[in-house]
């Protein structure tokens, strides 16, 4: 079975910088409390590395509640961004703040701040419960509306003449996001469009779909917590109409997935450590030729 290494894949610049910053802080303040407020990036292997570097995790999804578990010292805000309310609450507790927000997410925060500051109501496309939308929505809650699907757009009702803009979570499927934007433009022709899918996400999705046309299936290496990893599976299945499998490690590979297949593509989410992807590739290349049509699963 031929393994096709899809490029680009794996770590993006925001993840690299967030991990570097967190490890640096953990090393410099060894012996002092250093806490991640939520998962720095959505990958359990990275979380374990950071804990070994002296950075403790508070996994509470509600960042404000999570502050109750920070016992002084330094708090690190994750790559997904943080709401102004949580920042102010952390300062009021006398914590030292380290902001590891991805620069692409920061750009979206700045955009929403600028739009709402001049009276524009923002329709934000994102996934409820994900930390990135939570951070963005906290900038101006009364001037921001979250939607997850094109169907939700049909339920929106704004006063005539209200200035509107749309932007989005950086890690979504670029195709799904465009479909929602198209519906918004159809309903509100005057709306300002700001598609904020980050370049790293776009490039990985485009590469996965392009490669999927020339392979029998695609393996995505990444955590199930990772929005961008799950989107890679989605776009391969929906845009290339090929099977795709999300695995956290090589141990999760199932030989029966590849029965009768000759070419398998491998990509990885933007928060996936390189060594995990290498192990998956090696495991696929080592699979016996007995994984043929009709062969028994191991």
Residues catalogued as catalytic: 132
Q: Kindly state the average pLDDT of the residues 58-85.
A: 95
One-character DSSP codes across the chain:
-EEEE-SS-S--HHHHHHHHHHHHHHHHTTTS-EEEES-SSS-HHHHHHHHHTT-EEE--SSHHHHGGG--SSEEEE-TT---HHHHHHHHHTT-EEEE---HHHHHHHHHHHHHHHTTPEEEEE--TT-HHHHHHHTTSGGGEEEE-SHHHHHT----TT--EEEEE-TTS-HHHHHHHHHHHHHH-TT-EE-----HHHHHHHHHHHHHHTTSSEEEEES-TT-HHHHHHHHHHHHHS---EEEESSGGG--GGGGTT-SEEEEEE-TT--HHHHHHHHHHHHTS-TT--TTPPP-
The interaxial angle of helices 44-52 and 13-28, nearest 10 deg, is: 20
pLDDT of the residue at 295: 38
Question: In which band, very low, low, confident or very high, does the pLDDT at 289 lie, cut at 50, 70 and 90?
Answer: low
Q: Kindly state the average pLDDT of the residues 40-61.
A: 94
Question: In which band, very low, low, confident or very high, does the pLDDT at 69 lie, cut at 50, 70 and 90?
Answer: very high
Q: Kindly state the average pLDDT of the residues 130-140.
A: 96
pLDDT of the residue at 288: 77
Domain ranges of the chain: 2-10+199-285, 13-101, 104-193
Class of domain 104-193: alpha beta
pLDDT in tens, 75-117: 999 999 999 999 999 999 999 999 999 999 999 999 999 999 9
Q: Give the chain's mean pLDDT.
A: 94
Q: Do the domains spanning 13-101 and 104-193 agree at the CATH topology level? A: no
pLDDT in tens, 144-203: 999 999 999 999 999 999 999 999 999 999 999 999 999 999 999 999 999 999 999 999
pLDDT higher than threshold 70 for residue 229: yes
**C-alpha to C-alpha distance for 71 and 91, rounded to whole angstroms:** 13
Question: In which band, very low, low, confident or very high, does the pLDDT at 290 lie, cut at 50, 70 and 90?
Answer: very low
Q: Could you tell me which residue, 39 or 294, shows the higher pLDDT? A: 39
Architecture of domain 13-101: 3-Layer(aba) Sandwich (3.40)
pLDDT of the residue at 226: 93
Q: Which fold has domain 2-10+199-285?
A: Cobalt-precorrin-4 Transmethylase; domain 1 (3.40.1010)
Number of Cβ atoms within 10 Å of the Cβ of 189? 8
């Amino acid at each position: 079975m031929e393994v096709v290494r899809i490029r680009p894949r794996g770590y993006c610049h925001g993840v690299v910088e967030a991990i570097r910053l967190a490890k640096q802080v953990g090393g410099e303040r060894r012996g002092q409390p250093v806490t991640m407020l939520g998962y720095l990036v959505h990958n359990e292997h990275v979380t374990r590395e950071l804990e070994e570097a002296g950075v403790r995790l508070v996994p509470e999804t509600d960042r404000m509640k999570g502050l109750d578990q920070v016992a002084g010292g330094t708090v690190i805000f994750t790559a997904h961004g943080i709401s102004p309310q949580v920042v102010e609450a952390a300062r009021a507790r006398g914590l030292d703040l380290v902001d590891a927000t991805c620069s692409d997410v920061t750009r979206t925060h700045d955009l929403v701040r600028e739009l709402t500051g001049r009276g524009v109501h923002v329709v934000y496309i994102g996934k409820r419960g994900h930390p990135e939308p939570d951070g963005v929505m906290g900038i101006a809650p009364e001037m921001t509306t979250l939607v997850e699907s094109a169907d939700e757009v049909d339920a929106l009702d704004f006063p005539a003449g209200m200035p509107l803009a749309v932007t989005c979570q950086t890690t979504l499927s670029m195709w799904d996001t465009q479909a929602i934007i198209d519906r918004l433009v159809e309903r509100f022709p005057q709306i300002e469009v700001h598609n904020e899918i980050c370049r790293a996400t776009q490039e990985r999705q485009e590469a996965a779909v392009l490669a999927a046309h020339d392979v029998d299936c695609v393996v995505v290496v990444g955590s199930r917590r990772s929005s961008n990893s799950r989107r890679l599976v989605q776009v391969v299945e929906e845009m290339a109409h090929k099977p795709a499998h999300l695995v956290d490690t090589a141990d999760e590979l199932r030989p029966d997935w590849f029965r009768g297949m000759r070419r398998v593509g491998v990509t990885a989410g933007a928060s996936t450590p390189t060594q995990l992807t290498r192990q998956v590739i090696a495991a696929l290349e080592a699979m016996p030729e007995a994984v043929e049509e009709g062969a028994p699963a191991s």
